[in-house]
Amino acid sequence: MPPIQDHPLRYQLANELHARPFPTMTCPSTVVYLAIKQPEEAVHRDRSFDIAHLVDLLDRHGAAHPKPGATHHSAQLGRHMLKWEQHTEFVSYTLYSDGVSQRAFDPIDFEVFPTDWLEQAPGQRITSLMVRVLPRPDDSSQIKASLQDWLVPESMAVSRVLDDNAVVAGDFRIDPAGHMRFAAFVNRETGSRRIGRIVQRLCEIETYRAMSMLGFSRARSLSPTIGGLDTHLSEIMVEMTGSSVPAEQTLSHLLTVSAELEAMAARAAFRFGATGAYEALVNQRISLLREDRLEGYQTFSEFMLRRYEPAMRTVKSTEKRLATLADRARRAGELLRTRVDVERSAQNQALLESMDRRADTALRLQHTVEGLSVVAISYYAVSLASYALYPLAGPIGLSKGMMTGLITLPVVALVWFAVRRIRKRLH
């Protein structure tokens, strides 16, 4: 019996579950992270530019190239380990190495990415960050003192995560070197894979947060236009209630507004949908950290609730407002088209009545013409019959006038009967 045939995508779909494994990190270690976003219009373009940019970096260190069609790749670049991932809208580069620099968050650590290589990137930087992984001291006051020096206290978020296996902190601010700063203090018994998961989740939280904020920027830029269209639509609705403006003209204006709203909604649909997906990922990654409060500090979830959630509500509100406005324009258009149809039906009814009156007048005129035609035909018929019967008038003792008088009535009756019969055959 031959073996059962596998579905052509069976292995590909199974391997997708293991496409992005967590990195393995030791403590202490330094992590630099870079996410590059393609231009908005190039999301669905050929992604070979990303691969070429990665290959350029690998060639500088003599590292192996990724497999054709790969969406992730790991390689050793000197003393750094590279983890590259390709996503729908961006690519990410994570470089981590053992040990930490003497100066916390030293910009020199980011110079592992060559300057000329960064200038050739096929897109723009959406975020970059540095993570400093250190052993967790027994006294939490040492953690607080370090964080006070490294981060901005006013916006700092600090949490004990993963059943108190580590303390993570960040302020979500861009430092003078252009990078975000995150710190992770891990227990001595915390495994290298767990450290890698903590770092990757911090990178994902910041990346997905940055990507979702693109939707907030789009919503804020659309708000003035939406407000103007809302006002214009309200004015059109007022015109509809009166009769000062012709319905056809109002309908033309309404269709213009409706088309503009539909086009705006179509252009913003992808960004608003992506924002919702990124927001869900941010909240999910934070929940996976299983946060516990470190005394005196807000947690990551509290920070997001106060600083991030209002922006996401703005995006949802703008999306809903745009959809509601498009529905209003659509309903107003249907009402106005109904009004135009009713007015046209009344005009058609008046036109039909006018045509009926003209037809009735034509019929009466036709009957009148038929009566006149009977008289005319009878006149000529009597004349012809008289000429034919004049020779017989003498023998029977009748004058010509008497003969004409006798045949007039029968001839008229015969002509009338013949005309009537012809009309019946036609109708």
- pLDDT of 68: 85
Q: What is the mean pLDDT of residues 27-50?
A: 81
Q: What is the mean pLDDT of residues 175-188?
A: 95
Q: 54-58 contacts: CB < 8 A, separation 24 or more?
A: 54/84, 54/91, 56/117, 56/120, 57/82, 57/93, 57/113, 57/114, 57/117, 58/82
- pLDDT of 124: 92
Would you place residue 416 in the very low, low, confident or very high pLDDT band (cuts 50, 70, 90)?
Answer: confident
- pLDDT greater than 90 at residue 345: no
**For the chain, domain boundaries:** 19-196, 212-350, 367-426
Quote the DSSP letter at residue 297.
Answer: S
Cα 234 from Cα 394, distance rounded (Å): 99
- pLDDT greater than 90 at residue 380: no
Would you place residue 395 in the very low, low, confident or very high pLDDT band (cuts 50, 70, 90)?
Answer: confident
- pLDDT of 44: 55
Quote the DSSP letter at residue 5.
Answer: P
- pLDDT greater than 50 at residue 43: no
Cis, bond preceding 153 (omega within 30 deg of 0):
no
Q: What is the mean pLDDT of residues 197-217?
A: 95
- pLDDT of 42: 55
CATH of domain 212-350: 1.20.58
Average pLDDT of the chain to the nearest whole number = 86
pLDDT in tens, 66-115: 988 888 899 999 899 999 999 989 999 999 999 999 999 999 999 999 99
- pLDDT greater than 50 at residue 373: yes
SS3 27: coil
- pLDDT greater than 80 at residue 297: yes
- pLDDT greater than 70 at residue 394: no
Q: Residue 153: what are its φ and ψ, rounded to 5°?
A: -60, -35
CB 319 within 8 A of CB 251: no
- C-alpha 314: how far from chain center: 17
CB 299 within 8 A of CB 171: no
Would you place residue 356 in the very low, low, confident or very high pLDDT band (cuts 50, 70, 90)?
Answer: confident
More confident residue, 330 or 305: 305
- pLDDT greater than 50 at residue 118: yes
Q: Residue 345: what are its φ and ψ, rounded to 5°?
A: -65, -40
| Pairing between β-strand 166-170 and β-strand 124-135 as defined by DSSP bridges | unpaired
Q: What is the mean pLDDT of residues 235-248?
A: 72
pLDDT in tens, 5-24: 888 888 877 877 776 778 88
Cα 62 from Cα 82, distance rounded (Å): 13
Percent of residues, the chain, with pLDDT higher than 90: 50
Quote the DSSP letter at residue 190.
Answer: -
More confident residue, 145 or 351: 145
- pLDDT of 178: 94
DSSP states of 222-288: HHHHHHHHHHHHHHHHHHHHSSSS-HHHHHHHHHHHHHHHHHHHHHHHHHHHHHHHHHHHHHHHHHH
- pLDDT greater than 90 at residue 235: no
Cα 342 from Cα 365, distance rounded (Å): 35
- pLDDT greater than 90 at residue 250: no
Exposed/middle/buried for residue 322 (C-beta within 10 Å: 0-12, 13-18, 19+): buried
- pLDDT greater than 70 at residue 169: yes
Exposed/middle/buried for residue 184 (C-beta within 10 Å: 0-12, 13-18, 19+): buried
